[in-house]
Structure 1
Amino acid sequence: MVITDRRNIVIIGCGPGSREHLTEAARQAMLNADVLIGAGHLIDSLAPPNKECIRFGTDVDEALQNISDRLTHGRVAVLVSGDPGISSLAASVIRRFGRENCEVVPGISSIQMAFARIGIDWLDARILDAHGSIPGTSFNELIGCGKLAILAGHRDSAAWIAELGLALGEGYTAFICEDLALPSERIRRLKSCNMRDAGVTGKAVILYIREDLLQ
């Protein structure tokens, strides 16, 4: 496979959604694109002026068709939240159009930001995606892990996350990191076994950290 200097699609990691956390590489990629395609909140807050913009919702097939329809118009930029490598539309775009036709511009992931906020490294963290569906991982497999990071968002994820907190027991602290880098950002710290009544929103990263790592 030959990767060319001028690929037709650029997938841009937009970070948590604030201009302050958008990388310069991402800004330049948007400026160099002919068409921007992305979720409405990313288009509204980050798109440069005088660009053709197409908004899409949660329908992946619709997003892929929008990309396909605009390829004859020039270079298409696909805006995704966080980093394209974590729980992202990027995987579907690359499967559909091929790696040889896609450039990926990394962004700051919400998981990266959550660990930065609490001052803990995430090199050995176990990452679980509960954004689109409940993870199939058994609790027994997770008990004993020093650091767990969970992307919330699925309608049933809050109950699953709370049950995991109970299974982990008293030796873990939970951090509920909501709306990171946005004006409504909130981070709550509590015992993992008290997660049942915490109330977890869709735009949240949940960290379960073994308490000996917080000393």
Structure 2
Amino acid sequence: MKHKIIVAGIGPGNEAYIVPKALQAIKSAKILVGGRRALAQFAHAGQETMAVTADIKGVMAFMASQLTEHDVVVMVSGDPGYYSLLDALRREFSPESLQVIPGISAMQYAFASLALPWHDAQWVSFHGRVPAADAINYAPGKIMGMLTDGKYNSHTIPELLLKNGWPADTSLYICSRLSYPDEEIVTTTLGNAGTIAVQGHCILVVKARN
């Protein structure tokens, strides 16, 4: 294949957290694909764009049709290697046709904001799925970062963890709107999470006592 699909991680949201190589690829792209919010933020006149919607097959067909003439730049939130469109792209195109530019995931940003190393942490996703029970079971000293959605949020996830044996006094960090001007990080405990305004589509971090 003459041209490539360039998968550019756009970080947690604020343009300041996009690596320069990804930003350059986005600015110089002739064909730009991404979510509607990303296109509204980064697309400019002269670019042909395609919004990523539920019609993933249509998006893939569009990209395939463009590769005969141009590279295609695909913007994905956070880091492409962490729950992004990259999985679907690998099923449709060969790895040799993909160039991936890493980005800063919202999970990395959350841990950095807490000055908390993540090399021993476990990351799981409640976004459109439920992790296996053994992945979220309690263990002394366990640190866990969680992606959330509207259903599994800052109220329902703590309830689930408490049922799975986590102590009520476990530290909980509710990290919402990360990197944006109205960013908020609330420190509480699993037992008190239900007394705080519910947050979905955020990052939750729990840190158990040793």
Q: Could you say which TM-score interval applies, normalised by the shorter chain?
A: 0.7 to 0.9
Q: 1:26 to 1:173 in 2, by over 3 A?
A: same
Identity over aligned residues, as a percent?
28
Q: 1:198 to 1:133 in 2, by over 3 A?
A: farther
Deviations 1:119-158 (A, max 9, x none): 11111110001112122334773433521000111x4312
Whole-Å Cα distance in 2 between the matches of residues 47 and 110 of structure 1? Answer: 22
Q: 1:124 to 1:78 in 2, by over 3 A?
A: same
Aligned to 1:185: 183
Note the 1:13-24 alignment, pairs <5 A: 13-24=9-20
| Post-superposition offset of 1:177 | 0.4
Aligned to 1:206: 204
Query: Are 2:88 and 1:92 aligned?
Result: yes
| Amino acid in structure 1 at the alignment position of 2:77 | S
| Post-superposition offset of 1:171 | 4.4
Two-structure CA RMSD over aligned residues (Å)? 2.2
Query: Are 2:155 and 1:157 aligned?
Result: no
Q: 1:49 to 1:143 in 2, by over 3 A?
A: farther
TM-score (norm 1): 0.86
3-state SS of 1:10 partner = strand
3-state SS of 1:168 partner = coil
Deviations 1:12-60 (A, max 9, x none): 1000121111110111211343200000111111234432221123443
3-state SS of 2:79 partner = coil
Deviations 1:149-174 (A, max 9, x none): 00111x43125512234231134200
Q: 1:165 to 1:188 in 2, by over 3 A?
A: farther
| Post-superposition offset of 1:98 | 1.4
Deviations 1:105-132 (A, max 9, x none): 0001000100111111111110001112
| Amino acid in structure 2 at the alignment position of 1:110 | A
Aligned to 2:172: 174
Corresponding residue to 1:112 among 108, 116, 121: 108
Whole-Å Cα distance in 2 between the matches of residues 139 and 76 of structure 1? Answer: 36
Deviations 1:178-198 (A, max 9, x none): 010112211111111222344
| Amino acid in structure 2 at the alignment position of 1:66 | F
Whole-Å Cα distance in 2 between the matches of residues 80 and 65 of structure 1? Answer: 18
Corresponding residue to 2:98 among 98, 102, 113: 102
TM-score (norm 2): 0.88
Q: Unpaired segments of 5 or more residues in structure 1? A: none
Query: Are 2:123 and 1:127 aligned?
Result: yes
Q: Which has the higher helix share?
A: 1
Whole-Å Cα distance in 2 between the matches of residues 131 and 123 of structure 1? Answer: 22
Whole-Å Cα distance in 2 between the matches of residues 101 and 206 of structure 1? Answer: 35
Q: Unpaired segments of 5 or more residues in structure 2? A: none
| Amino acid in structure 1 at the alignment position of 2:182 | S
Deviations 1:63-103 (A, max 9, x none): 32332233234100111000001111111112210111000
